[in-house]
């Protein structure tokens, strides 16, 4: 268990700028019929009939659908076919800048009123309220509660304001320049430097190469306000916009409101045509090899490019199924290839993918082990050559088909439980890309009709069709220290020729027909059964002493999630045994189980809707998993097998160790990895159970010791708590519990974990790490100490974190324009001793580090001395209640909650006080808890600065 969850993803205000995450681009006024010549005998796929869609006279499009998952919620999206591709040289970065300005003042919500209003309605900025900008589109999302009609009405007003009602005040624009520059700074680093060099090759030197959505610093810092206003009026217009609304709403009423509210959107005079851009094939091959000081391993990519095939007709859909089956089978082959004593690469694989606007590709990827570039590349290429020459086998195709059909069946089972977000994404794709959006029922019908007709010859033909020698890019990226041995184009081509000339055997599909278990269990009994009316829980005691806790829900139609644990864990082993103990569950479960080796097990499980994993953590060991009704026997027999018939596989062990070592070689060339290692080490007080992996620690992992520790941990389940949550049919479940769980070995002794007394060090600690060449700093501040654990206090700590985060955002970002997304985290624990930690994390300019830290610490001090603003407490309450309302309708929430309460020895009905405690919370209480814990006596300050600063 990690004490501190570090939010390095930094999500606030945008999963900004996804580059090629899926299909991002596409045609302007695309309708299915215009862009596609339908072949005779093929049928166009109709739009999902369950969505109400239409177009206003001004060209504005809408999609509206009723959906109850989650209840009392609606999601509204405004999609604009406007992105960085439309920008002139003087406008570079303004699509994204506009996205930011949408939260800084609209006609009905001046300045920061929009965020303020929504926070009070329970909507979190960043997590719920969000937006993104890419090359061809800008999309805004707003999830809202439906209980309050005023909030719904205002939500629609916000959409309307975004569409054509931004105020774009000069003062607000000026303040946002710094925020965007900080966002740009966070993006800097090796990955960004590499992207800027490889992008032109990837997009065949089309316009996309020079239109990264983040734009140009020069433009961001100096554009005149009227330039962005003109851009807004030029492109935010009804023919390029769509509103998507899905949720717990009355569709007819909503449609009427939308028609009224958006009818007056206007197109600008002298409307410019919205040109469609794409990357086209050139018929040429390209080669690029580049190095960077902060890269940690050599990566080679081969892209055999083809014109993108969009899905409009049933024939297109069938073709896409071929590719899915092809990709599934190929990825399984690569997985098998990696299970060797000397794995040929760190990661490797290939698939047919949409890779860039207008293009798809057979994309091969290999991340090489240091010094093993040629052998790594050849190993990955060899499988494509084998595929071209010898194809897939019949058994592989049958397995892949079965898997596909099973997954579809499982999805159909949950058809009425699909979330509103899933629908929104489908309609977004329909509007932005013009892709077919048939809905689940139609998809199910087509899959069941087409899959059985797909032949091996058809799938095998794809290898010949896609792996070509023209329109082929080879891109090599490598650490700078390997510059001397960087392969030239002629070398890579020679490797390809060598492999193509090798003698090859067909792939051997290793399948076992043995039963999973070598020894069948001797079933036990359910010896006691109790039901608790208050919590609705059922308690079963099994004959071997296992306590089963069942929570029946209807959140999903056919899902059970479970976790089982007993006390002990790695705490019972010496420091010398620690590495073997903490890696035991991973190593042993990678080796297969019962009668099956790893590959056989993977095939046996393919297509089953279940999973089970053993774990050994610091204080407990046990199993986690999930299953549907049909696969219960597989799930529980697998759990039994992991407990009683683990395997030891020397070869797989060597492979894991070998790759773990290889991954360490250049790790310290990555500045963020160096910083994160420092954080882990300092917070873990240099205890070897907390320090990051190194060669010495890896050398301490011993297979025999890991195996015997594993066996020891699962040899006795006395006192085990087994929690199951989901749509449980007790009559169906009980026989499996008796057969596979009541039969687990038990000796009557209940173990306890040992208190190792490891915690965040006390006192004042300050450390600065100098690494990296970009002008970029990261700051991590931690307040910690002993904690008087009780439920109410954990909720107050949550309020403290939330109100602190609101202030950090207002002050460091909005007022001081010094950071992009400051984050606060809180953690509390009860065992082995009560402890808390509150951390603050942000990136900023090295020049601003001291000023930003001072502002952050000042806000912490204000929380202690003045307390949070009552308004911010109200925001916290609204947001927390709002979030919990939905989370409490998921099986995983209840699984986490129940196992947490059981392991802490806390009452299982505690959560029934949640609403009362939150609603009754006062600013004074939060001030008091801030005063008690944020004293600054235990304060850790960690800063990452660029290498160049140290030199000065």
Query: Where do contacts with Zn ion occur on this chain (CB under 5 A)?
Result: 14, 16, 183
Q: What is the rounded CA–CA span in Å between residue 119 and residue 102?
A: 16
Q: CB-wise, 716 or 821, nearer to Zn ion?
A: 821
Token digits for 11?
């999500």
Q: Are 612 and 635 in contact (CB under 8 A)?
A: yes
CB burial of residue 896 (10 Å; 0-12, 13-18, 19+)? middle
User: At closest approach, how far in Å is the CB of 13 from Zn ion?
Assistant: 6
Using only C-alpha atoms, what is the Rg of the chain? 29
Q: How far is the CB of 812 from Zn ion (least distance, A)?
A: 16
Q: What residues contact 721, with CB distance under 8 A and at least 6 apart?
A: 546, 547, 549, 564, 565, 566, 899, 902, 903
292: helix, strand or coil: strand
Distance CA 466, CA 669 (A): 37
99 vs 294 by CB, closer to Zn ion: 99
Q: Which is nearer to Zn ion, 374 or 816 (CB)?
A: 816
Q: Smaller CB distance to Zn ion: residue 16 or 808?
A: 16
Give dist(CA 222, CA 475) in Å, integer: 35
Give the whole-angstrom CA distance, residue 242 versus residue 240. Answer: 7
**CA 23 remoteness from chain centre:** 18
User: Residue 217 CB, nearest distance to Zn ion (Å)?
Assistant: 14
Residue with tokens 């919500």: 109
User: How far is the C-alpha of 140 from the C-alpha of 160, rounded, in Å?
Assistant: 12
Nearest to Zn ion of 137, 183 (CB atom)? 183
Is the Cβ of residue 130 or residue 582 nearer to Zn ion in the bound state?
130
Closer to Zn ion by CB, 77 or 640: give it.
77
CA 784-788-794 angle, 5° bins:
80
Strand pairing partners for 305? Answer: 361
Is the torsion defined by CA of 102, 106, 110, 116 positive or negative? Answer: negative
* Shortest reach from residue 140's CB to Zn ion, in Å: 12
In sequence order, the 6+-apart residues with CB closer than 8 A to the CB of 886 are 70, 73
Task: Pick the closer one to Zn ion by CB: 182 or 805.
Answer: 182
13/679 with CB nearer Zn ion: 13
83 versus 545: smaller Cβ distance to Zn ion = 83
Q: List the one residue out of 135, 80, 102 whose CA is nearest residue 228.
A: 102
- List the structure tokens of 41: 């005998």
Q: Which is nearer to Zn ion, 14 or 215 (CB)?
A: 14
Q: Which is nearer to Zn ion, 132 or 933 (CB)?
A: 132
- Length, in residues, of the chain: 952
Q: Show the tokens assigned to 382.
A: 């060899």
Measured between its terminal Cα atoms, the distance across the chain in Å is: 40
Q: Is 149 helix (H, G, I), strand (E, B) or coil?
A: helix
| Residue 825, H or E segment | strand 823-829
Report the nearest approach of Zn ion to the CB of residue 286 (Å).
Answer: 31
Q: Which residues contact 763 (CB under 8 A, 6 or more apart)?
A: 937, 938
Cβ at position 105, least distance to Zn ion in Å: 16
Q: What does the alpha-carbon distance between residue 392 and residue 889 come to, in Å, rounded to a whole number?
A: 43
Nearest approach, Cβ of residue 179 and Zn ion (Å): 8
CB of 100 to Zn ion, least distance (A): 6
Beta bridge partner(s), residue 823: 841
Helices (H), 453-519: 456-466, 489-501
Q: Which helix (H) or strand (E) holds 927?
A: helix 923-933
| Dihedral sign (CA 356, 359, 364, 368) | negative
Q: Which residue is nearest to Zn ion (CB)?
A: 16
Give me the least distance between CB of 899 and Zn ion, in Å please: 38
Contact 305, 359 (CB under 8 A): yes
Closest CA to 208 of 140, 279, 149: 279
For Zn ion, the closer of residues 14 and 344 by Cβ is: 14
Q: Give least dist CB 473 to Zn ion, A.
A: 30
3-state secondary structure of 752: coil
Min separation Cβ 17 and Zn ion, Å: 7
Both tokens of residue 516? Answer: 């999973």
Strand 610-616: give its sheet, edge to edge.
526-532, 537-542, 547-552, 721-726, 560-567, 620-627, 610-616
Q: How far apart, in whole angstroms, are the C-alpha atoms of residue 873 and residue 151? A: 19
Query: Would you tell me how many other CB atoms lie within 10 Å of the CB of residue 889?
Result: 16
| Residue 386 beta carbon to Zn ion: minimum distance, rounded to whole angstroms | 45
In this complex, which beta carbon is closest to Zn ion, that of residue 10 or of residue 638? 10
Q: Cβ of residue 810: shortest distance to Zn ion, in angstroms?
A: 18
220 versus 364: smaller Cβ distance to Zn ion: 220
- In 430-579, which ranges are E strands? 472-479, 526-532, 537-542, 547-552, 560-567
Q: What's the min distance (Å) between Cβ of 14 and Zn ion? A: 4
We find the least distance from the C-beta atom of residue 213 to Zn ion, in angstroms, to be 9
Minimum distance, C-beta of residue 118 to Zn ion, in the bound complex (Å): 18
Contact by Cβ (8 Å): 832, 619: yes
Shorter beta-carbon distance to Zn ion: residue 16 or 943: 16
Q: How far is the CB of 265 from Zn ion (least distance, A)?
A: 25
Q: Are strands 286-292 and 472-479 parallel, antiparallel or unpaired?
A: parallel
> Which of 14/719 has CB closer to Zn ion?
14
Q: In angstroms, give the least distance from the CB of 183 to Zn ion.
A: 5
Residue 841, phi then psi, degrees to nearest 5: -140, 130
Structure tokens at 457: 């010859």
Q: Of 183 and 677, which has the nearer Cβ to Zn ion?
A: 183
């Amino acid at each position: 268990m990690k004490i501190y969850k570090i939010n390095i993803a930094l999500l606030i205000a945008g999963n900004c700028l996804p580059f090629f995450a899926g299909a991002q681009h596409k045609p302007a006024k695309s309708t299915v019929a215009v862009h596609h010549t339908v072949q005779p005998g093929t049928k166009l796929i109709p739009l999902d009939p369950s969505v109400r869609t239409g177009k206003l006279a001004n060209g504005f499009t809408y999609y509206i659908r009723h959906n109850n998952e989650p209840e009392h919620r609606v999601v509204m999206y405004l999609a604009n076919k406007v992105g960085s591709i439309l920008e002139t040289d003087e406008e570079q970065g303004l699509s994204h800048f506009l996205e930011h300005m949408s939260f800084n003042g609209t006609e009905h919500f001046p300045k920061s009123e929009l965020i303020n209003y929504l926070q009070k309605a329970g909507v979190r900025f960043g997590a719920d309220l969000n937006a993104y900008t890419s090359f061809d589109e800008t999309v805004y999302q707003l999830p809202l509660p439906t209980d309050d009609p005023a909030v719904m009405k205002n939500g629609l007003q916000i959409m309307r304001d975004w569409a054509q009602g931004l105020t774009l005040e000069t003062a607000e624009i000026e303040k946002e320049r710094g925020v965007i520059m900080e966002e740009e700074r966070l993006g800097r680093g090796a990955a960004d430097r590499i992207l800027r060099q490889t992008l032109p090759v990837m997009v065949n030197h089309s316009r996309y190469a020079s239109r990264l959505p983040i734009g140009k610093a020069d433009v961001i810092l100096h554009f005149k306000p009227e330039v962005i206003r003109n851009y807004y009026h030029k492109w935010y217009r009804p023919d390029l916009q769509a509103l998507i609304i899905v949720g717990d709403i009355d569709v007819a009423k909503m449609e009427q409101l939308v028609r009224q509210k958006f009818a007056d959107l206007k197109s600008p005079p002298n409307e410019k045509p919205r040109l469609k851009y794409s990357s086209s094939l050139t018929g040429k091959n390209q080669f690029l090899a580049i190095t960077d000081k902060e890269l940690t391993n050599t990566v080679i990519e081969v892209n055999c490019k083809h014109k993108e095939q969009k899905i409009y007709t049933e024939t297109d859909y069938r073709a896409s199924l071929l590719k899915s089956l092809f990709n599934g089978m190929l990825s399984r082959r690569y997985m098998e290839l990696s299970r060797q004593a000397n794995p040929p690469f760190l990661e490797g694989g290939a698939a047919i993918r949409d890779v860039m606007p207008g293009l798809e590709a057979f994309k091969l990827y290999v991340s090489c082990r240091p010094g093993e570039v040629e052998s790594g590349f050849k190993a990955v290429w060899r499988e494509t050559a084998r595929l071209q020459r010898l194809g897939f086998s019949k058994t592989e195709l049958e397995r892949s088909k079965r898997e596909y059909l099973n997954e579809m069946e499982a999805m159909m089972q949950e058809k009425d439980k699909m979330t509103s977000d899933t629908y929104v994404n489908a309609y977004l794709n329909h509007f932005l890309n013009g892709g077919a959006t048939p809905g689940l029922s139609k998809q199910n019908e087509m899959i069941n009709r087409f899959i059985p007709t797909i032949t091996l010859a058809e799938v095998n033909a794809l290898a010949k069709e896609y792996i070509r020698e023209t329109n082929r890019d080879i891109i090599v990226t490598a650490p700078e220290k390997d510059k001397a041995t960087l392969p030239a184009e002629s070398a890579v081509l020679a490797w390809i020729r060598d492999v193509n000339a090798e003698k090859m055997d067909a792939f051997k599909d290793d399948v076992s027909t043995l039963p999973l278990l070598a020894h069948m269990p001797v079933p036990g009994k359910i010896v006691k059964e109790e039901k608790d009316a208050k919590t609705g829980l059922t308690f079963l005691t099994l004959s071997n002493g296992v306590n089963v806790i069942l929570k029946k829900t209807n959140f999903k139609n056919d899902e059970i999630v479970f976790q089982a644990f007993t006390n002990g864990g790695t705490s019972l082993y010496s420091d010398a045994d620690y590495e073997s103990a903490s890696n035991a569950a991973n190593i042993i479960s990678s080796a297969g189980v019962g009668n099956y080796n790893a590959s056989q097990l993977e095939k046996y499980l393919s297509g089953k809707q279940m999973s089970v994993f053993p774990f050994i953590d610091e204080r407990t060991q046990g199993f986690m998993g999930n299953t549907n009704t049909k696969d219960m026997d597989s799930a529980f027999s697998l759990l039994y097998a992991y407990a009683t018939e683990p395997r030891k596989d020397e070869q797989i062990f060597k492979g894991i160790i070998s790759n773990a070592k290889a991954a360490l070689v250049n790790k310290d060339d990555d500045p963020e990895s160096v910083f994160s290692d420092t954080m882990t080490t300092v917070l873990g007080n240099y205890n070897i159970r907390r320090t990051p992996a190194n060669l010495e620690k890896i050398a301490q992992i011993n297979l025999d010791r890991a195996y015997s520790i594993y066996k020891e941990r699962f040899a006795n389940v006395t006192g085990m708590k087994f929690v199951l949550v989901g749509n449980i049919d007790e009559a169906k479940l009980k026989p499996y519990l008796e057969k596979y769980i009541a039969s687990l070995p038990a000796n009557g002794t209940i173990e306890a974990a040992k208190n190792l007394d490891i915690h965040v060090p006390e006192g004042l600690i300050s450390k600065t790490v100098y690494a990296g060449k970009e002008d970029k700093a990261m700051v991590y501040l931690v307040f910690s100490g002993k904690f008087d654990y009780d439920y109410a206090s954990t909720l107050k700590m949550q309020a403290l974190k939330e109100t602190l985060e609101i202030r950090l955002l207002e002050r460091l970002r909005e007022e001081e324009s010094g950071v992009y997304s400051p984050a606060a985290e809180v953690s509390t624990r009860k065992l082995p001793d009560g402890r808390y930690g509150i951390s603050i994390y942000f990136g900023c300019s090295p020049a601003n580090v001291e000023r930003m830290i001072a502002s952050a610490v000042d806000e912490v001090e204000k929380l202690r001395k003045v307390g949070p603003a009552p308004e911010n407490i109200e925001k916290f309450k609204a947001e927390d209640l709002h979030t919990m309302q939905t989370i409490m309708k998921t099986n995983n929430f209840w699984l986490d909650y129940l196992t947490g309460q059981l392991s802490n020895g806390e009452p299982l009905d505690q959560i029934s006080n949640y609403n009362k405690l939150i609603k009754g919370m006062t600013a004074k209480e939060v001030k008091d808890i801030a005063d008690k814990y944020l004293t600054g006596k235990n304060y850790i300050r960690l800063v990452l600065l660029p290498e160049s600063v140290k030199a000065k």
